[in-house]
Amino acid sequence: MKRTLLPVLSAGVLTLTAMTASAAEPLKIGISAEPYPPFTYKSAEGEWTGFEVELGQALCEAMQADCAITPTGWSGIFPALNTGKIDMIMNSLSITDKRKKVIDFTDPYYYTPGAYVAAKDAEFAIPDGLDGKVLGVQGATTNASYARRALIDSGVEIKIYDQQEQANRDLLAGRVDAILADKIAMAEFVKRDEAQGYEIRATAPRHPAFGEGVGIGLRQDDDALREDLNAAIAQVLEDGTCAALSREYFGTDICGG
């Protein structure tokens, strides 16, 4: 992509920014179409909600912009951004150098480390005793890159899922021995009734694969939108909107870079 696809993409992007600036088209906030509770999920009434959705709406309010939540298959969310199907990715997207080569980021609005979840009575140590075990991670996440980079020699079998829920589900069904995922999502997960026998066993160390925190992903050259969003992020961090939402959803304040 570095050599060939980018010029094509950025040509498309140029024409697109021309359009977003002029038309009254709402800004399409791309979230994962696969539920990622409590960040993004869908109620039976069919409405998308969650921390990211509500924060996204707060940001749009701060920018006085018209926004539309646009669910997109997670594994294809980067191409969806660059082909203009969505205007931003707002779904616990960690800022990493690798991603920065293809998309732009706003300032970070929260940071959480990766956490390992396994059965309380599991007899192996994490991460040192993972040899011969199966570890589930969600593909196209920083946790997946971390697992593949840092755990490659540990003898662990890494199973890559399209959706975090599938990994969670397979942990409960005993099909994987442990999962590695965002700590907040995992803290929420182990509180579920069905996950009683499971706990956060360890936290992954800070690693370049995890990046600098979570920001909103944007097309490169979409500078006007980035500046507007940075201002809006500063505002929701400042006035406590983000902190209030964080406490509502996670019981703790994760806001800030």
Residue 143 CB, shortest distance to other proteins, in Å, is 12
Q: How far is the CB of 77 from other proteins (least distance, A)?
A: 9
**Surface-to-core class of residue 30, CB atoms within 10 Å of its CB (0-12 exposed, 13-18 middle, 19+ buried):** buried
CB of 107 to other proteins, least distance (A): 22
Name the residue nearer to other proteins (CB basis): 26 or 257. 26
Task: For residue 1, give both structure tokens.
Answer: 């992509």
Nearer to other proteins (CB atom), residue 12 or residue 257: 12
Q: CB–CB of 50/37 below 8 Å?
A: yes
Q: Output the CA–CA distances (angstroms, integers) from residue 157 to 149, 180, 226, 235, in the order listed.
A: 13, 13, 39, 44
First-to-last alpha carbon distance for the chain, in angstroms, is 30
Q: Containing H/E element for 144?
A: helix 142-150
Backbone angles phi, psi at 130, to 5 degrees: -80, -5
Could you tell me if 114 and 146 are in contact, meaning their C-beta atoms sit under 8 angstroms apart?
yes
235 and 90 Cβ atoms separated by less than 8 Å: no
The burial class, CB within 10 Å (0-12 / 13-18 / 19+), for 176 is: buried
Q: Is the peptide bond before 127 cis (omega within 30 degrees of 0)?
A: yes
Residue closer to other proteins (CB basis): 161 or 210: 161
- Nearer to other proteins by Cβ, of 4 and 64: the residue is 4
CB of 170 vs other proteins, minimal distance in Å: 7
Q: How far is the CB of 194 from other proteins (least distance, A)?
A: 7
Q: Give the shortest CB-147-to-other proteins separation in angstroms.
A: 12
Nearer to other proteins, 63 or 158 (CB): 158
Instruction: By CB under 8 A, name the binding residues for other proteins.
Output: 1-5, 8, 12, 15-16, 18-19, 23, 25, 33-35, 41-42, 44, 46, 71-76, 78-79, 83-85, 98-99, 101-102, 134, 136, 139-140, 144-145, 148, 159-162, 165-167, 169-170, 172-175, 194
Residue number, 83 or 235, with CB nearest to other proteins: 83
